[in-house]
Amino acid sequence: MKKIVLCGGGTAGHVYPALAVAEKLNGYEIHYFGGDGIEKEILKNFPDIIYHQIPAVKFERKFTPKNLLIPFKLWKAVKETKRELQKVAPDGIFSKGGFVSVPVAMAGKKLNIPIISHESDLSFGLANKIVLKYCSHMCTTFDKTANGNKKCIHTGQPIRRKIFEGQKLRLNFDETKPTILVLGGSLGAKFLNEIIFENLEKLTEKYNIIHICGKKNAQEIVHQNYFLTPYAENIEDYYASADIVISRAGSGVINELLALEKPMLLIPLSKKCSRGDQIENAKLFVEKGYALMLEEENFNFIKLNENLEKLTKNKQNFIKNMKKTAKNNAVEQIFNLITKF
């Protein structure tokens, strides 16, 4: 039986595409190398995948004395990861990015293990810029990302089968109103939650609201045509229940929504707390006619309401633009590369 190591973490967006690839690996012994973050929690639901916790070395984008310790921490992480890889002796590695993937790629290269990686965003994250030096191929979600680099292959975003198998939630909603799904990312978005909470009366006059608020922002609110939950394991059912989605602009989520032809209002993470990758993703989706965009700094209820009205009024135009997009076969393409290990 061939063995494959999957790695990546930090956010759910690094984990679920790797699991989409894992669905295709029938007959493989699958191991997952990750840190002590969300990837560890998610993998608890996949007992057939063997989890290995390794050190994750986070690189701070701003200057801080902590960065002076990075070379030592990384050397130690690579050493521990190399030892763990030697125990597994995999035929290959599929890396999905995030800082936990860096020691895996570096250790894998030292052991001459073939490595394939995937970049979800329009521009390379810092971790994948490093991983690119060690992998044989870097698959990309967006064609622009692959341009000009011989190692890069445009595959699209790997999406799990279950995303297409959602069933509408049984909620006591007004069927004459469109249903809005509000997503704030796996941790929630406090400013977005607060505006939804403060304006429930006005919002539910026009819409049904399904609100995934994040575990840290959970409240007990009962309101007509409103459903609140801190987290959704069965996200496919929430997608199936929505006419329009308000979301962050992480590549994983927005490409799932694109595949399902769900018009979006995107509120990307600001440059204050990110490298600006979600802003790039959102601008591209606006350019393609899949979504509207509101930047976090300019977000308020008036603009939220205006954009929801535009999306509702022009919903079919957004869906028409999405239908023009060729459906990707990313999982199949990545699987074909893995079979060459």
What is the separation of C-alpha 137 from the centre of its chain, rounded to a whole number of angstroms? 20
**Which tokens belong to 44?**
């608890």
pLDDT at 187: 53
CA 151 to CA 131: how far, in whole Å? 12
**Which tokens belong to 232?**
């959704």
**Which tokens belong to 291?**
């979504």
Is this structure's pTM higher than 0.75? Answer: yes
pLDDT at 186: 53
Buried b (16+ CB within 10 A) or exposed e, 61-84: eeeeeeeeeeeeebeebbebbbeb
**Three-state DSSP class for residue 308:** helix
Domain 164-323 = CATH 3.30.565.10: no
Query: Using an 8 Å Cβ cutoff, are 89 and 112 in contact?
Result: no
> Parallel, antiparallel, or unpaired for β 244-247 and 179-183?
parallel
**Which tokens belong to 275?**
């490298």
In 3D space, the residue among 230, 228, 244, 174 whose CA is nearest the CA of residue 196 turns out to be: 228
In 3D space, the residue among 216, 213, 274, 214 whose CA is nearest the CA of residue 249 turns out to be: 274
CATH topology agreement for domains 3-154 and 164-323? yes
pLDDT at 305: 96
CA 225 to CA 206: how far, in whole Å? 10
Strand partners, 210: 181, 227
What is the separation of C-alpha 228 from the centre of its chain, rounded to a whole number of angstroms? 22
pLDDT at 63: 65
Taking the chain (341 residues) in runs of 10, the rounded mean pLDDT of each run is 95 93 97 95 96 86 70 93 98 95 97 97 92 96 92 96 96 96 74 91 97 78 90 94 96 95 94 83 97 92 96 97 88 96 90
CA 245 to CA 230: how far, in whole Å? 16
Edge-to-edge strand list for the sheet holding 137-140: 50-53, 29-34, 3-7, 92-95, 115-119, 137-140, 152-154
pLDDT at 276: 86
pLDDT at 185: 60
Q: What is the domain class of 3-154 according to CATH?
A: alpha beta
pLDDT at 217: 63
Q: Where are the domains of the chain?
A: 3-154, 164-323
pLDDT at 326: 76
CA 30 to CA 5: how far, in whole Å? 6
pLDDT at 141: 95
**Which tokens belong to 318?**
């957004």
Q: At what angle do helices 251-259 and 277-288 cross, to 10 degrees?
A: 20
